[in-house]
């Protein structure tokens, strides 16, 4: 049996808006095992952003259990959560969130700056390795505004990989990209998955979810569907794209 | 995050908005520069006053007989015959804090040399008068004890008198001038001292042995006043007290209200003058300090703008593991660096400014180390104080909201 990376049991999250309680998550349970490539799907308002915030240790559940890599998140302080994010989680955002006027390499180094156990020499080496892993070793000293959207997202993925996290959390990571670039990014994610990375991919696009190995469908704070799928190859999809030259 | 990385990141962030950083710094530069300039100029003016006073002999003590009234008419100081040889000898014998003492008697008359004449007063003093009043000889010699004993008809003249009488460029030394009807031989010329701070010409003097003036000019046995020198400036108050007691005993006075003499030290004058310039310094420095506070508020304002502008960056840093402390330190480092660089530039400007001021006013140039160190500390404190609230605001942001901030 593979390791349980994420284990959620009867998770609830309630927000208080004015005098009303809004139940964003109404008791959901699932487990993500090491080496899985999970897509979490749902329409706007289904609770997937709330779930992602909790999975990313940015938010705590109102009730229920959340264990990441054997650590019970519910009992941790704010600072402990920060450290947990720094060591175990890699975030990839829809809008890349790279620091402007900062080179790709320095952007990738950023998470390790907040890790005192990493020397500056090791930091540099690991950042270079991460950029190589996403195929940007020739763009290390470029600034974000000198890179295309796809390249910026690759830098962001390198930044998520640099601390060697137990899970990559991607939030609509292809949402700002065109189809071709989306497929390129998905190809990269599939490669990382083949190398053994565990990935949770939040999206509302079904044609992106087909590249994953398992789909969890949320609606109104409940899981309505959780089933393994036979993933399509993003590489093939990319090759099958018509060679359009309209852009 | 270690301190070196912190500073590196802060400097990088400041360089991203160069003109903004420079303008913010300008507030601190002006504040610090004006504080430094004001304090330095204030100290220079105090020093210049002190120098002037000590050129008159800052350890000088004047002993004068009290006013004497006759029939309700105040005859003015120096009119009584209270001071005489007995007092002089008693002070010479008993005072431990007095290094030198001379009597003074003065007489006014017209000085004549050839066809030139000059109205003046001739002051009868002892040889040590030069030391007490810090006069120096330019040429010739000073009369000595022998001259005093023999009532010698010799005198030493100041620069102004020499200029008035010897208009054809004669060497005054060796010439004989008439003082009224009495011929006096000039044996020395004093070095010029210029005006004192009251505007009196200190070179318009004629000095002669006091015995000569007493016997040959005025036929009196008392002195108009005594000049004494304390061992040091600090001891002048003690010397004055000592003289008071000696004079009371020689005059047989038991009650201080019966004193028939007045004693004045330069110390009193110095204290008054210094307190005036000191007060001015404090006032000017206070005004300058206000501009420093305004500069600090400028930093605070800009840091608030920066925090708002970089909300998304803060959210990202938090999401990848920055703790509240890291964010706080990052923004605090920016404001402290901003104010410290501003402070250093301000100190340089302030020193330049006070240098120019001192040169123009011909005051001695003083670099006030305390002002520099204090300004530096104030700068750091300003950076921390005015940077704290914006940095705290940044550190307390919620990462979820910060990430979503547009």
Please check whether residues B104 and B223 belong to one and the same domain: yes
Contact A113 B400 (CB under 8 A): no
Query: Chain A to chain B, count of Cβ pairs less than 8 Å apart?
Result: 60
Contact A79 B321 (CB under 8 A): no
Q: From CA A199, how far away is CA B298, in angstroms rounded? A: 47
Q: Locate the domains of chain A by residue range.
A: 4-239
Q: What is the DSSP string of chain A?
A: ---EEEEEEEEEEEEEETTEEEEEEEEEEEEEETT-EEEEEE-TTSSHHHHHHHHTTSS--SEEEEEETTEEGGG--HHHHHHHHHHHEEEE-TT--PPTTS-HHHHHHHHHHT-TTS-HHHHHHHHHHHHHHTT-TT-TT--GGGS-HHHHHHHHHHHHHTT--SEEEEESTTTTS-HHHHHHHHHHHHHHHHTT--EEEEES-HHHHTTSSEEEEEETTEEEEEEE--PPPHHHHHHHS------
Q: Residue B261: inside a domain, yes or no?
A: no
Quick one: pLDDT at residue B76? 60
Work out the minimum CA distance from A157 to partner chain B, whole angstroms. 12
Reduced to 3 states, what is the DSSP secondary structure of residue B107? strand
Please check whether residues B286 and B397 belong to one and the same domain: yes
Confirm or reject contact between B320 and chain A (CB < 8 A). yes
Please check whether residues B293 and B378 belong to one and the same domain: yes
Nearest to B129 by CA among B55, B57, B64, B213: B57
Give B-chain residues touching A113 at CB under 8 angstroms.
Answer: 1, 5, 9
Work out the minimum CA distance from A105 to partner chain B, whole angstroms. 14
Work out the minimum CA distance from B27 to partner chain A, whole angstroms. 27
Give A-chain residues touching B317 at CB under 8 angstroms.
Answer: 110, 114
Mean pLDDT of A17-26: 90
Q: Residue B236: inside a domain, yes or no?
A: no
Please check whether residues B36 and B144 belong to one and the same domain: no
Contact B2 A86 (CB under 8 A): no
Q: Residue B207: inside a domain, yes or no?
A: yes
Q: Residue B267: inside a domain, yes or no?
A: no
Q: pLDDT per residue over B324-365, tens digit each?
A: 999 999 999 999 999 999 999 999 999 999 999 888 888 888
Please check whether residues B297 and B391 belong to one and the same domain: yes
Contact B321 A85 (CB under 8 A): yes
Please check whether residues B39 and B147 belong to one and the same domain: no
Per the structure block, which two tokens stand in for B238?
């003690």
Q: Which of A29-38, B132-141, B268-277, B326-335 bottoms out in mean pLDDT, i.e. has the lowest?
A: B268-277
Domain A4-239 maps to which CATH number in 3.40.50.2300, 1.10.260.40, 3.40.50.300, 3.40.640.10? 3.40.50.300
Contact A85 B403 (CB under 8 A): no
Mean pLDDT of B62-73: 72
Contact A86 B400 (CB under 8 A): no
Question: Higher model confidence: residue A161 or residue B270?
Answer: A161
Give B-chain residues touching A53 at CB under 8 angstroms.
Answer: 400
Question: Higher model confidence: residue A68 or residue A246?
Answer: A68
The total domain count for chain B is 2
Name the average pLDDT for chain B. Answer: 86
Give B-chain residues touching A159 at CB under 8 angstroms.
Answer: 320
Q: pLDDT per residue over B148-186, tens digit each?
A: 888 899 999 998 888 888 888 888 888 898 888 889 999
Contact B324 A78 (CB under 8 A): yes
Contact B321 A78 (CB under 8 A): no
Per the structure block, which two tokens stand in for B210?
């006091």
Q: Cβ distance A184 to A238 under 8 Å? A: yes
Question: Higher model confidence: residue B75 or residue A190?
Answer: A190
Boundary of a domain, candidates B168, B195, B228: B228
Q: What percent of chain A has pLDDT over 70?
A: 98
Nearest to B336 by CA among B291, B285, B390, B373: B390
Contact A114 B323 (CB under 8 A): yes
Quick one: pLDDT at residue A1? 46
Among all residues of chain B, which has the CA nearest to that of A115?
B1
Confidence of residue B50 (pLDDT cuts 50, 70, 90): confident
Among all residues of chain B, which has the CA nearest to that of A97?
B316
Among all residues of chain A, which has the CA nearest to that of B310?
A99
Work out the minimum CA distance from A58 to partner chain B, whole angstroms. 7
Res B71 pLDDT > 80: no
Q: Cβ distance B315 to B48 under 8 Å? A: no
Please check whether residues B217 and B308 belong to one and the same domain: no
Confirm or reject contact between B284 and chain A (CB < 8 A). no
Please check whether residues B307 and B398 belong to one and the same domain: yes
Report ipTM (2 d.p.).
0.93
Contact B321 A111 (CB under 8 A): yes
Contact A113 B5 (CB under 8 A): yes
Q: Residue B249: inside a domain, yes or no?
A: no
Please check whether residues B115 and B174 belong to one and the same domain: yes
Quick one: pLDDT at residue B136? 86
Please check whether residues B218 and B338 belong to one and the same domain: no
Q: pLDDT per residue over B288-297, tens digit each?
A: 888 888 888 9
Q: Cβ distance A44 to A30 under 8 Å? A: no
Boundary of a domain, candidates B174, B201, B228: B228
Work out the minimum CA distance from B400 to partner chain A, whole angstroms. 7
Q: From CA B242, how far away is CA B268, in angstroms rounded? A: 16
Please check whether residues B131 and B212 belong to one and the same domain: yes
| Domain extent at residue B168 | 98-228
Mean pLDDT of B193-207: 77
Boundary of a domain, candidates B228, B246, B280: B228
Please check whether residues B35 and B125 belong to one and the same domain: no
Mean pLDDT of B211-218: 88
Q: Residue B86: inside a domain, yes or no?
A: no
Contact A113 B1 (CB under 8 A): yes
Q: pLDDT per residue over A62-92, tens digit each?
A: 999 999 998 999 889 999 999 999 999 999 9
Give A-chain residues touching B16 at CB under 8 angstroms.
Answer: 100-101
Helix (H) or strand (E) holding A137: none
Give the CA count within 13 Å in the CB-facing half-sphere of B354.
28
Q: What percent of chain B has pLDDT over 70?
A: 94
Q: Residue B317: inside a domain, yes or no?
A: yes
Contact B321 A86 (CB under 8 A): yes
């Amino acid at each position: 049996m593979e390791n349980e990376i994420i284990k959620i049991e009867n998770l609830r999250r309630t927000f208080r808006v004015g005098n009303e309680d809004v139940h964003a998550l109404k008791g959901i349970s699932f487990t993500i095992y090491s080496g899985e490539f999970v897509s979490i799907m749902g329409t706007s308002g289904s609770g997937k952003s709330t779930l992602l915030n909790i999975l990313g240790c940015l938010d705590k559940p109102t009730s229920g259990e959340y264990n990441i890599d054997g650590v019970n998140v519910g009992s941790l302080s704010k600072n402990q959560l920060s450290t947990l994010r720094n060591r175990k989680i890699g975030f990839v955002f829809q809008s890349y969130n790279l620091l402007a006027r900062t080179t790709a390499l320095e952007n990738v180094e950023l998470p390790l700056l907040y890790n005192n156990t990493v020397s500056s020499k090791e930091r540099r080496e690991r950042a270079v390795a991460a950029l190589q892993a996403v195929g940007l070793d020739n763009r290390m000293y470029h600034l974000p505004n000198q890179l295309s959207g796809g390249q910026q997202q690759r830098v962001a993925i390198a930044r998520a990989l640099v601390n060697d996290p137990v899970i990559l959390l991607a939030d609509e990571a292809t949402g700002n990209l065109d189809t071709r670039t989306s497929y390129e990014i998905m190809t990269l994610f599939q490669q990382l998955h083949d190398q053994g990375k565990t990935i949770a991919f939040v999206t509302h696009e079904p044609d992106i979810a087909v590249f994953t190995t398992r789909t969890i469908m949320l609606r109104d704070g409940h899981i309505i569907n959780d089933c393994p799928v036979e993933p399509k190859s993003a590489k093939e999809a990319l090759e099958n794209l018509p060679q359009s030259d309209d852009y | 995050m270690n301190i070196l990385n912190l500073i590196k990141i802060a400097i990088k962030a400041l360089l991203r908005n160069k003109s903004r950083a420079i303008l913010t710094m300008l507030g601190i530069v002006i504040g610090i520069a004006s504080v430094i300039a004001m304090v330095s100029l204030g100290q220079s003016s105090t020093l210049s006053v002190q120098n002037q006073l000590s050129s008159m002999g800052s350890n000088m003590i004047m002993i004068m007989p009290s006013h004497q009234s006759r029939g309700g008419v105040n005859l003015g100081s120096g009119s009584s015959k209270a001071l005489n040889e007995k007092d002089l000898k008693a002070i010479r014998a008993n005072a431990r804090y007095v290094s030198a003492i001379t009597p003074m008697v003065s007489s006014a008359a017209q000085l004549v040399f050839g066809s030139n004449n000059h109205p003046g007063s001739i002051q009868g003093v002892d040889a040590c008068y030069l030391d007490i009043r810090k006069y120096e000889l330019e040429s010739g010699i000073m009369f000595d004890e022998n001259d005093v004993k023999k009532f010698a008809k010799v005198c030493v003249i100041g620069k102004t008198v020499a200029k008035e009488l010897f208009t054809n460029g004669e060497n005054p030394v060796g010439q004989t001038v008439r003082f009224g009807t009495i011929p006096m031989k000039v044996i020395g010329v004093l070095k010029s001292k210029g005006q004192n701070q009251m505007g009196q010409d200190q070179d318009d003097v004629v000095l002669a042995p006091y015995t000569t003036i007493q016997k040959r000019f005025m036929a009196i046995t008392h002195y108009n006043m005594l000049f004494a020198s304390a061992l040091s400036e600090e001891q002048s108050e003690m010397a004055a007290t000592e003289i008071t007691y000696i004079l009371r005993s020689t005059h047989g006075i038991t009650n201080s209200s019966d004193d028939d003499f007045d004693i004045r030290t330069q110390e009193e004058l110095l204290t008054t003058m210094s307190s005036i310039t000191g007060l001015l310094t404090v006032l000017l420095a206070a005004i300058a300090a206000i501009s420093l506070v305004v500069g600090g508020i400028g930093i605070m304002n800009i840091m608030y703008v920066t925090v708002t502008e970089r909300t998304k960056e803060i959210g990202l840093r938090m999401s990848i593991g920055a703790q509240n402390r890291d964010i706080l330190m990052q923004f605090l480092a920016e404001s402290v660096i901003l104010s410290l660089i501003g402070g250093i530039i301000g100190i340089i400007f302030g020193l330049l400014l006070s240098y120019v001021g001192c040169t123009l006013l011909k005051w001695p140039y003083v670099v006030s180390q305390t002002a520099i160190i204090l300004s530096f500390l104030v700068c750091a404190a300003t950076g921390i104080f005015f940077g704290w609230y914006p940095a705290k605001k940044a550190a307390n942001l919620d990462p979820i909201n910060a990430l979503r901030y547009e």
